[in-house]
Amino acid sequence: MRLPLTALQRTPQEKQDIALSWRRPDLNFFAAGACHVLAFAFLETYPRAGFRPRFIRPVAGCGGAHVYVTNGLTAFDAQGYVPEAELLALHRAAYQAENPAWRAEVLDLEVPLAEFCAAHHHRPPWDFPPGVWERALAYLSRFPAPPSRADG
């Protein structure tokens, strides 16, 4: 059973102190705060699986930004594989339970990780403690690989 991302989000102190955020368990760390790193590590690890990155971008004044990957039907994030529609519905429900006015748009990301970070105020990998990419790859190894999409 998936946890609502609101249960995994960073505290205000963890948002201010990267070392404190870094010490969280992998699930919490990659669910909130480093989801974009995990998503792009997935894409690098499984380039032929047919997944692409998507960004849940809340309207101004609302929290709950999230990056995940999808093949159009199945999504992957720190909690593993799930139908994309379910991921989006659960995300919306969790944040609207805290703020009924919560709204977001879902964007396809068509830029490299560094450009995404710069454009959307996300911490780039080099601003995390050393080893964030390796930590993401190790975390990914806990999940089954997606099937490669058929060529042709």
How distant, in Å, are the alpha carbons of 16, 71, 126 from that of 11? Answer: 9, 31, 22
pLDDT digits (tens, 9 = 90+) for 58-86: 999 899 999 999 999 999 999 999 999 99
Bridge partners of 55, per DSSP, are 67, 107
pLDDT digits (tens, 9 = 90+) for 80-132: 999 999 999 999 999 999 999 999 999 999 988 888 988 888 888 888 999 99
Q: Where are the beta strands (DSSP E) in the chain?
A: 52-58, 66-70, 74-77, 80-83, 104-108
Among 113, 148, 139, residue whose Cα is nearest residue 25: 139
The residue ranges of every structural domain in the chain are: 36-140
Higher pLDDT, 32 or 117: 32
